Chains A and B, each alone.
Chain A
Amino acid sequence: MVGVSQADVVVNLLIFLIATSLGTELIRHVSRLLHTPLMSLTHAISSVSIVAALIVMVGPKNDFILTLVTVAVALAATNIVSGFMITDRILRLFRRRQRK
């Protein structure tokens, strides 16, 4: 994977900017009540970086590179598993008042 073309960079930059402004807008509307699960959720989502590790894992040039990405896969997998599970666990805690 040598060189990313200039056109790709421009498109990607555009995607990044749009995603950032969309993200900013969406996050602003999240209730403060949910800021803790929000953070665990968005961070779990960013662990999609596991995809990058997997792609490098396809054809590593040497064992050192293979080791680096294997460790990265283990770390990202930990975050994915614990991130989504704990987010759900936190969200289940929020309950409505029971009529007495």
Chain B
Amino acid sequence: MTELPVEYLYILSIVLFILSLRWMSEVKTSRLGNWSATAGMAIAILSTLAAFQIQRTDLLVGATLVGTVLGTPIALKVPMTAVPQRTAMSHAFGSLAVALVGAAEYYQDLPDIDLFTVSVLSAEMILGFLTFTGSCVAFAKLQGLIPGRPFVYRGRNLVSLSTLGAAVALGVYLALNPTQEFVLPIMAGLALLFGLLLVLAIGGADMPTVIAILNSYAGISAAALGFVLDNKVLIVAGALDGSSGFILAVIMSSAMNRSFANVLFGGVGSRITAGSTSTAQAARSVQAYTPEDVATVLEDARSVIVVPGYGMAVAQAQHVVKELADVLQRRGIDVKYAIHPVAGRMPGHMNVVLADAQVPYEELWEMDRINPLFPETDVAIVVGANDVTNPAARTKADSPLYGMPILDVDKAKTVVFIKRSTRPGFSGVDNELFYLPNTMMVFGDAKEMLTELVASLKRRGGSRQKG
């Protein structure tokens, strides 16, 4: 069916895709990587168009035009804080496209369709459709269209899993009885419902893992389509996307010390604080400070580590964080940023938000590299992060956070924690850090507090002579 030259061109595409991932490993070559993948895509599409004569050029041109008109503004206008939403939306589009092609392929091949083809198509459609609605819900949560907190009810896992079970059972039935056309829409409907239920029950802070898992599903369903069409470029591209999503999901969930199953079915963030509310806690008090107090401490500091979290992006405080770093650096103070793997709403999100605020990437430090530096650091400033700094993860075996790798903020000589209130973080667990004697709590909006802090430092005049 496909002629040989196309197959060779597909191999060229595959090589370019693989090289692009190779070049993505470091910043220096990353843009080349993106161009290489773009070239690979162009070759795959153009050689397909050349080899197969599509009669309906009107529809082809129309669809491409729609894609360009929709895609261009999305790519150019989306703010970096909203990149997770854009990613969820693209997973929704990609998986729906794959599921629709799967359905089209099924109807096209009827009635002479073999067991293997229908089996793979069923699996591919279930995965594609559930990824579509799952990604739509993820988009809605990230965009704030629906509440980010998990939607949980008694027996929800039973309901979700039986929905999936029914979809799979229908898939098997369809594979054995390929001509029973009526099964397909029901199976698709159940898969759509399952995706909806699955992600509705997951909270906002688990989005980095969820997005990575959905990314993996979208890739695997594309690869499955490649099996049906015997198309190698599709198999490889899908496998690359699938494995990338999988690795990122593993990194994300291990950074939370949780399993996939726990992320998908655990419903964390909905629980009422349990266990960690000790009686001693009521007696403990936090020390509240003003930005002015913090400026006084910073004046004598030599090294500062900023610990940003999603709250910083929500408050749009990244630009004033950068301004603070500039003021400090002018005073000869060393400034670094500590990035926890799950900071933000998708893998690597915090790096992108800070890079957008013109923070040079050498100042962005990964958790494992920066943790040994906290004990020698004068001031750690926590902006919009919470659970990832909670020392209970290291010390309190009964804490739900116990075992989660955290940033060792508490080891810094002074900790400045900017926060709206003492309300616990997403996990519902109180943060031990608030009560430490070396912690200065600053209550208020991150952007306002940091703006005051910067103003206060500026009032105190120019660069300090280091002695």
Contact = CB atoms under 8 A, between A and B. Distances in A.
A, B bound: yes
Interface of A: 1-4, 8-9, 12-13, 15-16, 19-24, 26-58, 60-62, 64-66, 68-98, 100
Contacts of A87: 34
Contact of B243 (A27, A50, A88, A98): A27
Of B83, B212, B244, chain A has the most CB atoms within 10 Å of the CB of B244
A38 B24 contact: yes
B174 to A, nearest CB: 17
Nearest to A89: B75
Given A43-B218, A58-B54, A2 B113 contact: yes
7 contacts: A4-B230, A23-B242, A34-B27, A43-B215, A52-B231, A56-B105, A75-B96
* Binding site secondary structure of chain A: helix
B234 A49 contact: yes
A43 to B, nearest CB: 6
A57 B365 CA distance: 48
* Binding site secondary structure of chain B: helix
Which are the 7 A-B pairs with shortest beta-carbon distances? A77-B67, A35-B348, A81-B71, A85-B75, A23-B243, A19-B239, A46-B241
A50 B237 contact: no
B358 to A, nearest CB: 7
B30 A4 contact: no
Given A26-B21, A26-B25, A54-B54, 7 more contacts: A2-B114, A22-B18, A52-B98, A73-B59, A73-B63, A79-B71, A91-B30
B145 interface: no
A54 B13 CA distance: 16
B71 A60 contact: no
Nearest to B83: A36
A28 B62 CA distance: 39
B330 to A, nearest CB: 8
A42 B234 CA distance: 12
A52 B226 contact: yes
A37 to B, nearest CB: 7
A59 B76 CA distance: 36
B75 A70 contact: no
A70 B348 CA distance: 34
B103 A84 contact: no
B211 A39 contact: yes
Given A46-B218, A79-B94, A90-B83, A32 B40 contact: no
B361 interface: yes
A62 B110 CA distance: 12
Interface in B26-53: 26-27, 30-31, 33-35, 37-38, 40-41, 44-45, 48-49, 52-53
Interface string B197-232: 000000000000001100100110011011111111
A31 B90 CA distance: 23
B27 A74 contact: no
B18 A50 contact: no
Contact of B108 (A32, A61, A77, A82): A61
Contact of B66 (A62, A78, A86, A93): A78
Contact of B103 (A27, A36, A68, A73): A68
A75 to B, nearest CB: 4
A82 B233 contact: no
Contacts of B424: none
B187 interface: no
B17 A65 contact: no
Given A75-B67, A77-B66, A45 B235 contact: no
A88 B34 contact: yes
Contact of A46 (B67, B230, B231, B237): B237
A82 B77 CA distance: 10
Nearest to A17: B239
B22 interface: yes
Contacts of A4: 114, 116-117, 227-228, 230
Contacts of B215: 39, 42-43
Contacts of B21: 23, 26-27, 30, 38, 41-42
B90 to A, nearest CB: 5
B435 interface: no
A71 B25 CA distance: 34
B346 interface: yes
B283 interface: no
